[in-house]
Amino acid sequence: MLIGCRIELAVFRILVARLAMMKKLMCAALAGCVLASVVIASFACLGKPASAPPSEGSIIVKQSGGAGMLIKECTDKSYITQTADYIVEGTVEKVESQWNESRTSIFTYTDLKIENYVKGTPFAENNLQIVTPGGTVGDISQWMEDQPIFHEGKEVRIYFEEVNGDFFIVCGQFGVEGR
């Protein structure tokens, strides 16, 4: 009888441990869903960017912000490299901030001349325009955490992915590095 109780107690402990692990996994999955919703909503809440025409032949890369700081894997360069559909190196040619059409948010438009494709099929044109929320117009600045900040003349490497025909920087500021 004592042996049977010990076995039952051991089985009970295993079940409790598995339930605890399942609870952690469910919480992590729920947190991931909430995070994805927040990231998507953050770009939507900012309003549409101003209708600044992209440089001729440019590919538009968007950055919604905030996610890279919250996703543990974003500190792992191999995760960023595997997630990215494209890794390009180039020089920042122009950085300009503008109000959106309703003057409720500022967006920064960064033009990048691609000089090297580390990963991904080259585009017909070697120009990117990166749209990030935040920036400075006149005396007014808006800032959103986890945004890469670009400076004219700087050489950078950018990791980005294609999602439903749109392009997004992988892991926010972690997806951009200086060369």
pLDDT tens digits for 117-155? 999 999 999 999 999 999 999 999 998 888 889 999 999
Q: Decide if 112 contacts 91 (C-beta within 8 A).
A: yes
pLDDT at 74: 87
pLDDT at 47: 52
The CATH number given to 59-178 is: 2.40.50
Q: Is the pTM of this model over 0.95?
A: no
Domain assignments of the chain as residue spans, ordered by start: 1-45, 59-178
The stretches in the chain having pLDDT less than 70 are 1-57, 64-70
pLDDT at 42: 44
Q: Decide if 95 contacts 151 (C-beta within 8 A).
A: yes
Residue 115: both structure tokens together = 């000089």
Q: Which of 126, 143, 122 is nearest to 134 (CA)?
A: 143
pLDDT at 127: 94
Backbone phi, psi, residue 147, to 5°: -95, 135
Residue 116: both structure tokens together = 């090297």
Helix (H) or strand (E) holding 70: none
